[in-house]
A and B are shown apart, each in its own frame.
Chain A
Amino acid sequence: MSGPILALISLAGGVPDRGSLEALSVARGLAVAGDAALEAVLVADAPAARAAVGSLAGSGVTTAIAIEHETLTTDHPDGWAAAIAQLVERRAPDAVVGVGTERGNDLMARVGARLSWPMAANCLTVEPGERWRLTRQRWAGSMIEECWLDAPVRLLTVAPNTVAIPAPDGSAVPAVEPVSVTLVDADLAVHVTSREASERGGISLGDAKVVVGGGRGVGSGEGFSDLEELAGLLGGAVGGSRVVTSAGWRPHADQIGQTGLRIAPDIYIACGISGAIQHIVGCKAAKHILAINTDAEAPIMGVADYAVIGDLHTVVPAISAEIRRRAAVRA
């Protein structure tokens, strides 16, 4: 009999977020393989944690751990790391599985630092055994690394949007186990001291159904007016490659890719973009990709579903004109 598997669950709108359900799915696989208990640690302020336990019915979780501490909130990254490190010492799990989001990776790294153990970020598969063998994402998912993770407790996060979430089975709502932790002032020193709302209005790039992306081929900041026009007609948003944000043609918030935004629109229209791997990881989740490029051999042609070969400053205005023409005919 091995130690339990701990899954770290964060909440969005009072229920486990998607990434946490993916982590839970991986953790469950490990628990089944090792004939071990599956325990969920709710990374949430205690009242929210207790309220969310019901949503873990059908997930195979036997125990839901709610961390109790009078000042600890999700605004304290080190406080949470200290709490989880204490939990690990008490329960001696075989693995702690979290989600590979910014916050999830930050937390697991802090746990690893405290325990002086390795941590593997953005894992895709986990094979327990004499030595644990993992696959994990490198280059934001453009490449896969197979590796060994050797530690008494395996700390790992699951790459978001890579794991299927099983439908709930008949397993019951887990029992809630309140666990109190002891934190020192240093654990609570780093905390959120203020918040601000986002200053950007309009259709956000992250949510838009249509994204018109521009790259070096657009040629200038002014050159984006053609793309703005098309995006406007389609109720979409404009984004771009790193070349255009580095040149100051667009703000960094518009950057799609490894060090920018990941988007998943119905269609991504990539104009004057060559298709570097660091760009593609940001847009490959689009349902359809249309590339508009003067170069029929550009790497983007290997990922695009559709292509138009030509100068974007001719093609894009022609598309806008055609949309307008058809709208006028219909009216």
Chain B
Amino acid sequence: MNILVCVKRVPATGGRIVLTPDGSDIDVRFLGFTVSPHEECAVEEAVRIVEAHGGSSSVLTLGPVAAEEQLRDAMAIGIDRAVLLETDGHDWDPVATAEAIVEAIRAQEAAGDPFDLILFGNESADSGGFQVGIRVAFALHRPCVTGVKALRIGDAGTRTATARREAPGGGWESFEVTLPAVISVKEGINLPRYPSVPGRLRAKKKDIERSTPAERPGGLEKIVLRLPQREATVAEVLGQGADAAPAVVDLLARIGVLGR
């Protein structure tokens, strides 16, 4: 199995978001960076599939040079190789992003083995477009299943995979797809491992393949960001420690959740 995972570098915002003065972006001066939990799970899934079935795994990102950090995080838990599509760091729209990824995949496949599986996160953590994986799949004429929370590779020789996701009304629905396929993954499909120290050291030394794609904007253009209007509430302190229990139970009674 030859697997590619696509990840996006995003700021790890905590309890409060601060925007830059012009509102064009999040103020990231005091923030670390990460990828979406869905994408962390996609990385873990790729590593597990290669562990079970053999083959090789790659990780790709379109982003600034600093996104090397996210590529190395993926290699630290076992991804074999990394590809950076370098930008000046501003967010590309989903059409432009997908197009650059498609071109990179074509170049990768022309130079080496075709990918049996391309994994995406279900949606990026920051812009949440819900579409890059679908666009890539369509351009490459490969089947695509989104929201996948369980993935089983068919027996050797069958060239199939079964992808399971939650059904809208509850329960699960499964798709059997022929490989090569594109799967977008949701957190919960697995529990990602933590990188080991040797894993981190190995990842640090690995080469990263780089290219600089041209941006062709696709028609969705960010103007400005803002935070939703929310009246800042001041929590009413019911008490300190165990002494607060009667006040809490009074509250539960008042709002009618205490039972009869």
Q: Footprint of B on A, CB under 8 Å?
A: 12, 75, 78, 101-103, 105-106, 109-110, 112-114, 116-122, 133, 137-151, 186, 189-198, 209-210, 233-236, 242, 245-246, 248, 252-253, 255, 258-260, 266-267, 274-278, 287-288, 290-291, 296, 298-311, 314-315, 317-319, 321-323, 326
- Asked if A322 and B248 sit within 8 Å, CB to CB, the answer is yes
Q: State the Cβ distance, A161 to closest chain B Cβ, in Å.
A: 13
Q: State the Cβ distance, A289 to closest chain B Cβ, in Å.
A: 8
- Asked if B16 and A299 sit within 8 Å, CB to CB, the answer is yes
- Asked if B235 and A306 sit within 8 Å, CB to CB, the answer is yes
Most buried by B among A103, A255, A314, A318: A318
Choice from B122, B169, B238 contacting A308 with Cβ under 8 Å: B238
Choice from A101, A122, A299, A300 contacting B128 with Cβ under 8 Å: A122
Choice from A105, A147, A319 contacting B222 with Cβ under 8 Å: A147
Q: State the Cβ distance, A187 to closest chain B Cβ, in Å.
A: 11
Q: Footprint of A on B, CB under 8 Å?
A: 13-17, 26, 36-38, 93-95, 98, 122-123, 125-131, 134-135, 137-139, 141, 143-147, 162, 164, 167-178, 186-188, 191-192, 218-228, 230, 232-242, 244-246, 248-249, 251-252, 255-259
Given contact pairs A139-B125, A144-B227, A242 touches B14 in the complex (Cβ within 8 A): no
Choice from A141, A236, A259, A323 contacting B37 with Cβ under 8 Å: A259
- Asked if B249 and A101 sit within 8 Å, CB to CB, the answer is no
Q: State the Cβ distance, B170 to closest chain A Cβ, in Å.
A: 5
- Asked if B15 and A306 sit within 8 Å, CB to CB, the answer is no
- Asked if B257 and A267 sit within 8 Å, CB to CB, the answer is yes
Which residues of A sit under 8 angstroms from B257, Cβ to Cβ?
A: 209-210, 234, 236, 266-267
Which residues of A sit under 8 angstroms from B144, Cβ to Cβ?
A: 110, 190
Q: State the Cβ distance, A83 to closest chain B Cβ, in Å.
A: 15
- Asked if B131 and A112 sit within 8 Å, CB to CB, the answer is yes
- Asked if B127 and A145 sit within 8 Å, CB to CB, the answer is yes
Choice from A143, A298, A326 contacting B17 with Cβ under 8 Å: A143
Q: List 25 A-B contacts (CB under 8 A).
A: A103-B168, A121-B129, A122-B130, A142-B13, A142-B17, A146-B224, A151-B219, A190-B145, A195-B171, A195-B172, A236-B257, A246-B192, A252-B191, A259-B125, A259-B186, A274-B14, A288-B251, A296-B237, A298-B15, A305-B236, A306-B236, A306-B248, A318-B241, A318-B245, A322-B249
Given contact pairs A310-B244, A323-B258, A118 touches B220 in the complex (Cβ within 8 A): yes
Which residues of B sit under 8 angstroms from A291, Cβ to Cβ?
A: 235
Choice from A114, A288, A308 contacting B237 with Cβ under 8 Å: A308
- Asked if A113 and B131 sit within 8 Å, CB to CB, the answer is yes
- Asked if A113 and B219 sit within 8 Å, CB to CB, the answer is no
Which residues of B sit under 8 angstroms from A120, Cβ to Cβ?
A: 220
Nearest residue (CB) in A for B218 is: A118
Given contact pairs A120-B220, A190-B143, A277-B14, A318 touches B242 in the complex (Cβ within 8 A): yes
Choice from B36, B131, B146, B220 contacting A259 with Cβ under 8 Å: B36
Choice from A151, A253, A298, A315 contacting B242 with Cβ under 8 Å: A315
Which residues of B sit under 8 angstroms from A306, Cβ to Cβ?
A: 235-238, 248, 251
- Asked if B191 and A246 sit within 8 Å, CB to CB, the answer is yes
- Asked if B15 and A113 sit within 8 Å, CB to CB, the answer is no
Most buried by B among A139, A140, A142: A139
- Asked if A121 and B128 sit within 8 Å, CB to CB, the answer is yes
Given contact pairs A253-B188, A277-B16, A310-B242, A146 touches B223 in the complex (Cβ within 8 A): yes
Which residues of B sit under 8 angstroms from A278, Cβ to Cβ?
A: 13
